[in-house]
Chain A
Protein backbone atom coordinates (compact mmCIF):
# COMPACT_ATOMS: atom_id res chain seq x y z
CA UNK A 1 0.00 0.00 0.00
CA UNK A 2 1.14 3.50 -0.65
CA UNK A 3 0.09 6.60 1.21
CA UNK A 4 -1.53 9.62 -0.30
CA UNK A 5 -2.65 12.75 1.48
CA UNK A 6 -6.19 11.40 1.29
CA UNK A 7 -5.93 7.72 1.87
CA UNK A 8 -4.03 4.58 1.11
CA UNK A 9 -4.39 2.88 -2.26
CA UNK A 10 -3.10 -0.43 -3.43
CA UNK A 11 -0.73 0.37 -6.27
CA UNK A 12 -0.67 -3.31 -7.19
CA UNK A 13 -4.46 -3.40 -7.59
CA UNK A 14 -4.44 -0.16 -9.56
CA UNK A 15 -1.72 -1.44 -11.90
CA UNK A 16 -3.69 -4.66 -12.38
CA UNK A 17 -6.69 -2.63 -13.56
CA UNK A 18 -8.83 -3.25 -10.45
CA UNK A 19 -11.97 -1.15 -11.19
CA UNK A 20 -13.09 -0.87 -7.57
CA UNK A 21 -9.70 0.46 -6.49
CA UNK A 22 -9.67 2.89 -9.41
CA UNK A 23 -13.16 4.09 -8.40
CA UNK A 24 -11.81 4.75 -4.89
CA UNK A 25 -8.98 6.79 -6.39
CA UNK A 26 -11.43 8.76 -8.53
CA UNK A 27 -13.74 9.36 -5.57
CA UNK A 28 -10.92 10.66 -3.39
CA UNK A 29 -9.13 12.87 -5.91
CA UNK A 30 -11.74 14.08 -8.40
CA UNK A 31 -13.05 16.98 -6.26
CA UNK A 32 -9.50 18.32 -5.89
CA UNK A 33 -8.73 18.03 -9.60
CA UNK A 34 -12.06 19.66 -10.46
CA UNK A 35 -11.36 22.55 -8.07
CA UNK A 36 -7.96 23.11 -9.71
CA UNK A 37 -9.65 23.04 -13.13
CA UNK A 38 -12.30 25.59 -12.21
CA UNK A 39 -9.76 27.98 -10.72
CA UNK A 40 -7.27 27.46 -13.52
CA UNK A 41 -9.61 27.51 -16.50
CA UNK A 42 -12.55 29.56 -15.10
CA UNK A 43 -15.01 27.89 -17.50
CA UNK A 44 -16.80 25.01 -15.74
CA UNK A 45 -17.21 22.98 -18.93
CA UNK A 46 -13.47 23.25 -19.59
CA UNK A 47 -12.82 22.17 -16.01
CA UNK A 48 -15.10 19.14 -16.44
CA UNK A 49 -13.39 18.16 -19.71
CA UNK A 50 -10.01 18.47 -18.00
CA UNK A 51 -11.24 16.34 -15.11
CA UNK A 52 -12.44 13.54 -17.37
CA UNK A 53 -9.32 13.55 -19.54
CA UNK A 54 -7.12 13.47 -16.44
CA UNK A 55 -8.66 10.24 -15.16
CA UNK A 56 -8.87 8.63 -18.62
CA UNK A 57 -5.13 9.22 -19.04
CA UNK A 58 -4.41 8.14 -15.48
CA UNK A 59 -6.22 4.82 -16.05
CA UNK A 60 -4.34 4.23 -19.31
CA UNK A 61 -0.96 4.91 -17.76
CA UNK A 62 -1.35 3.43 -14.28
CA UNK A 63 0.49 0.31 -15.37
CA UNK A 64 3.60 2.42 -16.00
CA UNK A 65 3.33 4.58 -12.85
CA UNK A 66 6.64 3.97 -11.10
CA UNK A 67 5.63 5.17 -7.65
CA UNK A 68 8.57 7.58 -7.34
CA UNK A 69 6.16 10.45 -6.72
CA UNK A 70 2.91 10.17 -4.79
CA UNK A 71 -0.22 9.23 -6.71
CA UNK A 72 -1.63 12.61 -5.83
CA UNK A 73 1.36 14.48 -7.32
CA UNK A 74 1.18 12.24 -10.40
CA UNK A 75 -2.52 13.05 -10.90
CA UNK A 76 -1.89 16.77 -10.48
CA UNK A 77 0.82 16.48 -13.12
CA UNK A 78 -1.57 14.93 -15.61
CA UNK A 79 -4.23 17.52 -14.69
CA UNK A 80 -1.81 20.43 -15.13
CA UNK A 81 -0.87 19.14 -18.58
CA UNK A 82 -4.53 18.82 -19.50
CA UNK A 83 -5.18 22.37 -18.29
CA UNK A 84 -2.29 23.54 -20.42
CA UNK A 85 -3.84 21.86 -23.49
CA UNK A 86 -7.10 23.73 -22.90
CA UNK A 87 -5.27 27.03 -22.43
CA UNK A 88 -3.27 26.45 -25.60
CA UNK A 89 -6.45 25.91 -27.60
CA UNK A 90 -7.63 29.31 -26.43
CA UNK A 91 -4.28 31.09 -26.45
CA UNK A 92 -1.91 29.43 -28.92
CA UNK A 93 0.97 31.63 -27.70
CA UNK A 94 0.87 29.82 -24.34
CA UNK A 95 3.77 27.39 -24.63
CA UNK A 96 4.16 25.67 -21.26
CA UNK A 97 4.08 26.28 -17.53
CA UNK A 98 7.83 25.87 -17.29
CA UNK A 99 8.73 28.50 -19.88
CA UNK A 100 10.78 31.42 -18.51
CA UNK A 101 8.70 34.20 -17.03
CA UNK A 102 7.71 36.87 -19.49
CA UNK A 103 7.39 40.58 -18.73
CA UNK A 104 3.74 40.24 -17.71
CA UNK A 105 4.79 37.98 -14.85
CA UNK A 106 7.27 40.49 -13.48
CA UNK A 107 6.34 42.05 -10.19
CA UNK A 108 6.79 45.73 -9.55
CA UNK A 109 6.90 47.27 -6.14
CA UNK A 110 3.61 47.24 -4.25
CA UNK A 111 1.53 50.09 -5.61
CA UNK A 112 -0.40 50.91 -2.51
CA UNK A 113 0.21 50.69 1.19
CA UNK A 114 -3.15 50.45 2.90
CA UNK A 115 -3.68 48.36 6.00
CA UNK A 116 -6.98 46.69 5.17
CA UNK A 117 -6.42 43.72 7.50
CA UNK A 118 -8.59 45.39 10.14
CA UNK A 119 -11.67 45.50 7.92
CA UNK A 120 -14.62 43.50 9.27
CA UNK A 121 -14.61 39.92 8.07
CA UNK A 122 -18.14 40.23 6.66
CA UNK A 123 -16.94 43.01 4.38
CA UNK A 124 -13.79 41.16 3.32
CA UNK A 125 -15.87 38.07 2.56
CA UNK A 126 -18.95 39.78 1.09
CA UNK A 127 -20.27 38.53 -2.25
CA UNK A 128 -18.53 41.46 -3.93
CA UNK A 129 -15.32 40.75 -2.00
CA UNK A 130 -15.38 37.11 -3.10
CA UNK A 131 -15.97 38.14 -6.71
CA UNK A 132 -12.96 40.42 -6.36
CA UNK A 133 -10.83 37.52 -5.11
CA UNK A 134 -11.86 35.44 -8.13
CA UNK A 135 -11.30 38.34 -10.48
CA UNK A 136 -7.84 39.04 -9.08
CA UNK A 137 -6.67 35.46 -9.50
CA UNK A 138 -7.79 35.52 -13.12
CA UNK A 139 -5.55 38.51 -13.83
CA UNK A 140 -2.48 36.40 -13.06
CA UNK A 141 -0.59 34.90 -16.00
CA UNK A 142 -1.24 31.13 -16.12
CA UNK A 143 2.39 30.39 -15.21
CA UNK A 144 1.95 32.19 -11.87
CA UNK A 145 -1.67 31.18 -11.28
CA UNK A 146 -0.94 27.47 -11.45
CA UNK A 147 1.84 27.77 -8.86
CA UNK A 148 -0.34 29.79 -6.49
CA UNK A 149 -3.20 27.29 -6.82
CA UNK A 150 -1.03 24.22 -6.24
CA UNK A 151 0.89 25.71 -3.30
CA UNK A 152 -1.61 27.89 -1.48
CA UNK A 153 -4.95 26.34 -2.38
CA UNK A 154 -4.16 22.66 -2.94
CA UNK A 155 -1.49 22.65 -0.25
CA UNK A 156 1.29 20.96 -2.22
CA UNK A 157 4.83 21.47 -0.96
CA UNK A 158 7.39 23.42 -2.96
CA UNK A 159 9.03 20.13 -4.00
CA UNK A 160 5.73 18.55 -5.08
CA UNK A 161 4.76 21.66 -7.06
CA UNK A 162 8.18 21.60 -8.75
CA UNK A 163 7.59 17.94 -9.69
CA UNK A 164 4.11 18.62 -11.06
CA UNK A 165 5.23 21.54 -13.21
CA UNK A 166 8.72 20.34 -14.09
CA UNK A 167 10.25 23.43 -12.51
CA UNK A 168 13.12 23.89 -10.07
CA UNK A 169 12.16 24.54 -6.45
CA UNK A 170 13.70 28.00 -6.78
CA UNK A 171 11.47 28.76 -9.78
CA UNK A 172 8.42 27.66 -7.78
CA UNK A 173 9.37 29.98 -4.92
CA UNK A 174 9.96 32.91 -7.26
CA UNK A 175 6.63 32.39 -9.04
CA UNK A 176 4.74 31.94 -5.79
CA UNK A 177 6.23 35.15 -4.44
CA UNK A 178 5.25 37.07 -7.57
CA UNK A 179 1.76 35.63 -7.61
CA UNK A 180 1.15 36.45 -3.95
CA UNK A 181 2.48 40.01 -4.27
CA UNK A 182 0.36 40.63 -7.36
CA UNK A 183 -2.76 39.34 -5.63
CA UNK A 184 -1.97 41.45 -2.58
CA UNK A 185 -1.73 44.52 -4.80
CA UNK A 186 -5.02 43.74 -6.54
CA UNK A 187 -6.79 43.28 -3.22
CA UNK A 188 -5.18 46.38 -1.73
CA UNK A 189 -6.51 48.46 -4.61
CA UNK A 190 -10.01 47.11 -3.99
CA UNK A 191 -10.16 47.03 -0.20
CA UNK A 192 -8.25 50.31 0.03
CA UNK A 193 -11.05 51.99 -1.91
CA UNK A 194 -13.65 50.36 0.29
CA UNK A 195 -11.90 51.70 3.39
CA UNK A 196 -11.94 55.22 2.03
CA UNK A 197 -15.58 55.02 0.93
Chain B
Protein backbone atom coordinates (compact mmCIF):
# COMPACT_ATOMS: atom_id res chain seq x y z
CA UNK B 1 0.00 0.00 0.00
CA UNK B 2 1.30 3.43 -0.79
CA UNK B 3 0.70 6.99 0.29
CA UNK B 4 -1.82 7.55 -2.42
CA UNK B 5 -4.00 10.51 -1.50
CA UNK B 6 -3.25 13.79 -3.25
CA UNK B 7 -2.54 15.60 0.00
CA UNK B 8 -0.16 12.89 1.22
CA UNK B 9 1.85 13.00 -2.00
CA UNK B 10 1.91 16.78 -1.88
CA UNK B 11 3.54 16.66 1.56
CA UNK B 12 6.07 13.98 0.74
CA UNK B 13 8.69 16.57 -0.21
CA UNK B 14 8.13 18.48 3.05
CA UNK B 15 8.52 15.55 5.43
CA UNK B 16 12.30 15.81 5.55
CA UNK B 17 12.07 19.44 6.73
CA UNK B 18 9.30 18.42 9.11
CA UNK B 19 11.41 15.79 10.88
CA UNK B 20 14.30 18.31 11.05
CA UNK B 21 11.97 20.85 12.68
CA UNK B 22 12.72 23.39 9.94
CA UNK B 23 9.34 23.37 8.22
CA UNK B 24 7.31 26.55 8.59
CA UNK B 25 4.85 26.40 11.43
CA UNK B 26 1.60 26.62 9.47
CA UNK B 27 2.60 23.58 7.39
CA UNK B 28 3.62 21.69 10.54
CA UNK B 29 0.20 22.31 12.02
CA UNK B 30 -1.46 21.09 8.81
CA UNK B 31 0.66 17.92 8.70
CA UNK B 32 0.00 17.17 12.36
CA UNK B 33 -3.74 17.65 11.89
CA UNK B 34 -3.64 15.41 8.81
CA UNK B 35 -1.71 12.69 10.66
CA UNK B 36 -4.45 12.36 13.22
CA UNK B 37 -6.58 10.80 10.48
CA UNK B 38 -3.92 9.33 8.20
CA UNK B 39 -2.08 6.38 9.60
CA UNK B 40 0.02 5.95 6.45
CA UNK B 41 1.58 9.40 6.77
CA UNK B 42 2.24 8.83 10.47
CA UNK B 43 4.05 5.57 9.63
CA UNK B 44 6.09 7.25 6.88
CA UNK B 45 7.19 9.99 9.29
CA UNK B 46 8.01 7.55 12.11
CA UNK B 47 10.00 5.25 9.83
CA UNK B 48 11.75 8.23 8.22
CA UNK B 49 12.90 9.38 11.67
CA UNK B 50 13.96 5.85 12.56
CA UNK B 51 15.91 5.51 9.29
CA UNK B 52 17.92 8.63 10.06
CA UNK B 53 18.59 7.61 13.67
CA UNK B 54 19.71 4.10 12.65
CA UNK B 55 22.27 5.55 10.25
CA UNK B 56 23.47 8.03 12.83
CA UNK B 57 23.88 5.36 15.48
CA UNK B 58 25.99 3.16 13.17
CA UNK B 59 28.12 6.00 11.78
CA UNK B 60 31.26 5.44 13.81
CA UNK B 61 33.64 4.05 11.19
CA UNK B 62 37.00 4.27 12.91
CA UNK B 63 40.21 4.88 11.01
CA UNK B 64 42.62 1.93 11.28
CA UNK B 65 45.96 2.80 12.90
CA UNK B 66 47.87 1.64 9.81
CA UNK B 67 45.87 4.06 7.65
CA UNK B 68 46.81 6.86 10.05
CA UNK B 69 50.47 5.84 9.95
CA UNK B 70 50.58 5.74 6.16
CA UNK B 71 48.89 9.14 6.03
CA UNK B 72 51.46 10.70 8.37
CA UNK B 73 54.32 9.17 6.38
CA UNK B 74 52.90 10.39 3.06
CA UNK B 75 52.61 13.87 4.54
CA UNK B 76 56.11 13.61 6.01
CA UNK B 77 54.68 14.11 9.49
CA UNK B 78 56.32 10.99 10.95
CA UNK B 79 57.78 12.92 13.86
CA UNK B 80 54.25 13.73 15.07
CA UNK B 81 52.90 10.17 14.85
CA UNK B 82 53.29 9.35 18.51
CA UNK B 83 52.45 12.70 20.04
Contact = CB atoms under 8 A, between A and B. Distances in A.
A109 interface: yes
Given A109-B4, A113-B3, A180-B16, A59 B62 contact: no
Interface residues of B, number: 42
A133 B58 contact: yes
Contact of B48 (A22, A35, A153, A180): A180
A162 interface: no
B32 interface: no
A87 interface: no
Interface in B46-71: 46-52, 54-63, 67-68, 70-71
Describe B's contact surface by its main secondary structure.
helix
Nearest to B66: A48
B21 interface: no
A83 interface: no
Contacts of B49: 117
Describe A's contact surface by its main secondary structure.
helix
A26 B75 contact: yes
A174 B76 CA distance: 42
Interface in A129-151: 130, 133, 137, 148
Which of A116, A133, A184 has the most chain B CB atoms inside 10 A of its CB?
A184
B67 A184 contact: no
A27 B46 CA distance: 38
Interface stretch (A7-15, A49-57, A61-69): A49-57
B74 A52 contact: yes
28 contacts: A19-B77, A19-B80, A22-B77, A23-B72, A23-B80, A26-B72, A30-B71, A35-B60, A38-B61, A52-B70, A52-B74, A56-B75, A109-B3, A109-B9, A110-B44, A111-B2, A112-B2, A113-B40, A113-B44, A133-B55, A152-B55, A152-B56, A173-B16, A177-B17, A180-B16, A180-B51, A181-B48, A184-B47
Interface of A: 19-20, 22-23, 26-27, 30-31, 34-35, 38-39, 48, 51-52, 55-56, 59, 107, 109-117, 124-125, 130, 133, 137, 148, 152-153, 173-174, 176-177, 180-181, 183-184, 187-188
